[in-house]
Structure 1
Amino acid sequence: MRNLAFSADTPIGWSRASFDPPAKGFERLNLCAFLMELGRPGPFDASKNNVARTWQLTDSEKVDGALKPVAADVNPRADRLPGTDQPALSQARLQDGAPAIFAYTLVDGRLTRDLLVEKLALLATKKDAVHLTARFQAATTGKATLNLTGIRKAWLNGQPLALASEPSPSVDMSADAHTFTVEVDAKSPPEVLRLESPAVSFLGD
């Protein structure tokens, strides 16, 4: 494959790759080597769901209120029933007639600045801060450690986390669906943003 480099920096869904007809034998070998690594332990292992790979972008006016559960009678996604109580940022709602914007990470769960800047351009926010939300499911009740990279301000199910004193917080988790929301500077996003927890399964929608 021409003009396509397979590495841990390959975005989910191949959104940034340009596919050309195979040219040389070494390019075919490169493709085969990559496919053989899929599912194996390492940077190409996308079989495990313990890392967030999908983030929803929202340019909320204020953090307070935007993260509180609301009863919304909008149902832009067929898998959600109207009128259900959900955190506002976890809903793929329509904003000003435009569809919700999602950012997809690299295979290893890193949301790089370049990938995020592309989505921020689509969001076209005029605000200083934007919010990104990931959804996950906890199978059991108990403590869960959240391993964070590039995250300074965050909320779990609408409740703020004290990241200054505990950068990788251990939180009480119920056996249920949860939302994790982070705030980033729209003009100066982090080099890398990543959320991982071995105790949960992140959802890709």
Structure 2
Amino acid sequence: MEGIITKSSTEAQSSVELSRPYGFYCSIIKPALDWTAGLLLLPVVAPLLLLLCLLIKLESEGPALFRQKRVGKDGKVFTIYKLRTMYTHVPKEGRSPESTDDPRITKVGKWIRKTSLDELPQLLNILRGEMSFVGPRPEQLSIVQDAYGEKERQRFLVKPGITGLWQTSADRKAPIHHNLHHDFTYIQNISWRMDVYILLRTALVMLKSNTY
């Protein structure tokens, strides 16, 4: 059983107070769609995952999968899975690369990050009920412990997602907790229409990034 991030009694109350999303879509339809889609997609992408894991292992030493502690819904800590795109000597809790020119990234990793294929193992997190296809990006445990207050913790009202408004915005190169308006907008307006919009927007962003 993973740990749970608790709120400090010394934190000041935030002026921004969000309510937890309720309703048939949030409580029943969205989780069911996530699990069903994840179950159907996993065997389809499994051959590609195996190929990518082989390429990663052939280029550099270390495991093909990257594991890191992240914070999810209600502050629960879980292990996120990604394809490893950096060399193994790089600290797991270091700052995230801002571009594929970062020397910490392997040659195979540059292509994997550009195509966002490093996110594919998170289908396992979806099947385990820890993540959704759409939602706020799960934050690193160390950053939550060091930089999160009452206001930032409101991101934990919903499950984190593989993609979301912040992930498809120009602000995605900046720290998550410096751009809370994206996640707060999603939490306040969550609906099937919003999720479809974000998924379509994600496809367009990926297509554009692979064009250049």
- TM bin, normalised by shorter chain, reads under 0.3
Q: TM-score, normalization: structure 2?
A: 0.25
Q: TM-score, normalization: structure 1?
A: 0.25
**Structure (1/2) with the larger helix percentage:** 2
**Structure (1/2) with the larger strand percentage:** 1
